[in-house]
Amino acid sequence: GAVVSQHPSRVICKSGTSVKIECRSLDFQATTMFWYRQFPKQSLMLMATSNEGSKATYEQGVEKDKFLINHASLTLSTLTVTSAHPEDSSFYICSAALSGPWSEQYFGPGTRLTVT
Amino acid sequence: QKEVEQDPGPLSVPEGAIVSLNCTYSNSAFQYFMWYRQYSRKGPELLMYTYSSGNKEDGRFTAQVDKSSKYISLFIRDSQPSDSATYLCAMSEDSGNTPLVFGKGTRLSVIA
């Protein structure tokens, strides 16, 4: 099956610094990538939808200037958390989808961000 | 009212039991219904998907969708300790390139 990787798997950073998370589709080209955030014992909440070569579409309440998304190629999307704060500590998961009538979203393994 | 409601559990069952997991939803435009399994600190993996109403069976897993009641279910027969995980229902109005709306997930423990 299709594989999506994320890097890093875990990161600890100090408050005020920026962190970049990479999401790669390893064996397929993803027309669309999604970024989700999951707090402990909570569901996945969509943050933004990213299409290759265009600006990301952010969900209501997600600050686009704080969570910078770049989808520069069909196999790579990045999420940069700028000026991170402790409340940004969460599990960030990306998914990638092919185009077509039905296309499964393949999820990455997630990145656990801890801001101290 | 949240779009997708799912009892978070936890649900604990003995090995071999039949497990029933359920979600309700409010958006009548949802057409694609999925069940994901998520192990601790891992990304979700797709178990089953169903388009519109009906049943779908895959091995020990059966997914049911009742659009008239806005209710979906996942049944696990002969549950195994390896089935212990969080099960998330997810839905979308369209296929593939549209965002999924997830339930909160039900934590399942199958005790040997």
What's the pLDDT tens digit per position in A23-39?
999 988 888 899 999 98
Q: What is the mean pLDDT of chain A?
A: 90
Return the higher-pLDDT residue of A62 and B2: A62
DSSP string, A64-77: TTTEEEEEEETTEE
Q: What is the pLDDT of residue A102?
A: 60
- Quick count: other Cβ atoms within 10 Å of Cβ B95? 17
| Helix/strand/coil percent split, chain B, to 5 | 5, 55, 45
Of B6, B100, B101, the CB nearest to A105: B100
Report residue B12 as tokens: 């604990």
pLDDT at A75 over 70: yes
DSSP helix/strand/coil, B112: coil
Residues of chain B with pLDDT under 50: none
| Helix/strand/coil percent split, chain A, to 5 | 5, 55, 45
Return the higher-pLDDT residue of A42 and B110: B110
Measured in residues, chain A has a length of 116
- Residue the block writes with tokens 């990455």: A108
B25 DSSP β-pair partners: B4
Query: What chain A residue is nearest to B105 in terms of C-alpha separation?
Result: A43
Query: What chain B residue is nearest to A33 in terms of C-alpha separation?
Result: B97
Of B51, B88, B95, the CB nearest to A103: B95
Query: What chain B residue is nearest to A40 in terms of C-alpha separation?
Result: B41
Task: Give the CA distances from residue B10 to residues A9, B85, B105, B106, B109, in Å, rounded to whole numbers and listed in that order.
Answer: 26, 10, 10, 6, 8
Q: Are A85 and A63 in contact (CB under 8 A)?
A: no
Give residues with Cβ within 8 angstroms of A40, minimum separation 6: none
pLDDT at A14 over 70: yes
Of A46, A93, A102, the CB nearest to B43: A93
Q: What is the pLDDT of residue A80?
A: 97
Looking from the CA of A102 toward its CB, the CA atoms found within 13 Å total 9
- What is the pLDDT confidence band of residue A100, given thresholds at 50, 70 and 90? low
- Quick count: other Cβ atoms within 10 Å of Cβ B96? 17
DSSP string, B35-96: EEEE-TTS--EEEEEEESSEEEEETTEEEEEETTTTEEEEEESS--GGG-EEEEEEEESSSS
- Residue the block writes with tokens 């049943």: B55
B15 DSSP β-pair partners: none
Interface mutation target, options A34, A35, A37, A44, chain B, most CBs of B under 10 Å: A44
d(CA A89, CA A17): 13
Interface mutation target, options B89, B100, B101, chain A, most CBs of A under 10 Å: B100
pLDDT at A21 over 70: yes
Report residue B70 as tokens: 């806005």
Which of A7-16, A38-47, A60-69, A78-87 has the least mean pLDDT? A38-47
d(CA A28, CA A15): 36
- What is the pLDDT confidence band of residue A99, given thresholds at 50, 70 and 90? low
Q: Are A111 and A21 in contact (CB under 8 A)?
A: yes
